[in-house]
Amino acid sequence: MQKPNPTISLKDRMQAVSDEIGYPRHFKSDLDVDFNLVEKYHGSQMIWLLREHGTVMVPLKMGVDPVMITGWMEKGNTFPFLVDTSSGEVTPLSAQKAHEVVNKPPIELNREASKENLIEKVNGILEKGCEKGIWGLFQKPAFDEFETWSAWLAYFRSTNNTVMINFMAKAIRLLAIR
């Protein structure tokens, strides 16, 4: 693990990890994209995947499609890390742990939440995801594009985002029993 040192920036720690592993060998400019993402998602934890031919970095707890990470990991020869943009830590992950954390829902929904609280939390996740542009490959959905949670569920089914399919299905079930 790269322990935070107040005199070394997170970007420098990530660069040191990349240099130590020797990845990416090609498409090194992906690191610049990653460094920008560290700033865009400051305060978040992210999964960072070093590959021979580039990198991938996605924020956690926002509902990013897990295939963004798992698809590359299935091809092998990858190095996953947990990057904490608050603490500055860069922690290696096993493949199993990487799969586990990238498949977690944005938030845990429970039966104890009031109807109003449930609606506020779920809509907050949907708004933030739209604001950050984390869904949709070529066309990013807008929050007001879908009038109901069922329409959002249909959208996530059409993109096969399993994390958000499960999250929205649970939200709909919980709302129905309120």
Query: pTM for this one?
Result: 0.89
CB distance 81 to 93 below 8 Å:
yes
CB distance 13 to 88 below 8 Å:
yes
Work out the burial of residue 135: count CB atoms within 10 Å of its CB; fewer than 13 is exposed, 13-18 middle, 19 or more buried.
buried
pLDDT of residue 38: 95
pLDDT category at 5 given cuts 50, 70, 90 is low
Mean pLDDT score, 127-136: 93
Quote the CA–CA distance of 90 and 118 in Å, as a whole number. 33
- In the chain, what percentage of residues exceed pLDDT 90? 88
The helix-helix angle for 67-74 and 95-102 (nearest 10°) equals 160
pLDDT category at 8 given cuts 50, 70, 90 is confident
